[in-house]
Amino acid sequence: MKRSPIEDCIFCKIIAKKMPAKIVYEDNRILAFDDIRPQAPTHTLIIPKDHFASLNDIPEDKADILVDILMKARRIAADKGIGQSGYRIVLNTARDSGQDVFHIHFHLLGGRRMAWPPG
């Protein structure tokens, strides 16, 4: 089920241009912007413009947005110069995973060697 923008959702506010963000990619379905608290030299958030709280809230008939996001992540990584050296894509789902903004978002991280396990 498609969700309308949520008034108190910070990412919905960024999509609506009611809050500033350094946007690095935008189309009719997806928005990507640099994280304000980067955890790596490159740290970009990639979100659908439709509001879904988490992966658990995306209905199967809307799952194609996930493929679109991953393909855009690959493009953004290349544009930022980390496509060949390597990058990590992180998706947190629900509180115990560390999700603190409840609008599904993917973290694109790179520009340094990543450690494993992450945490």
Among candidate residues 68, 17, 19, the one with its CA nearest the CA of residue 46: 68
Q: Is residue 117, in this structure, part of any structural domain at all?
A: no
Mean residue pLDDT across the chain: 94
Among candidate residues 106, 94, 107, 101, the one with its CA nearest the CA of residue 19: 101
The whole domain housing 66 covers 10-110
The SS3 call for residue 79 is: helix
Which pTM value belongs to this model? 0.93
Q: Residues 1, 60: contact at Cβ < 8 Å?
A: no
The SS3 call for residue 67 is: helix
Q: Provide the pLDDT for residue 1.
A: 37
Q: Residues 61, 71: contact at Cβ < 8 Å?
A: no
Instruction: Enumerate the β-bridge partners of residue 31.
Output: 26, 47
Q: How many CA atoms lie within 13 A of 34 on its CB side?
A: 10
Q: Is residue 118, in this structure, part of any structural domain at all?
A: no
Catalytic residue check, 105: yes
Q: pLDDT tens digits for 57-74?
A: 999 999 999 999 999 999
Q: Is residue 59, in this structure, part of any structural domain at all?
A: yes
Q: Is residue 82, in this structure, part of any structural domain at all?
A: yes
Q: How many residues does the chain have?
A: 119
Catalytic residue from among 43, 51, 103, 105: 105
Domain with residue 47: its CATH number is 3.30.428.10
Q: pLDDT tens digits for 73-114?
A: 999 999 999 999 999 999 999 999 999 999 999 999 999 999
The mean pLDDT value for 15-24 works out to 97
- Is the C-alpha dihedral spanning 113, 88, 40, 117 positive or negative? negative
The domain tally of the chain equals: 1
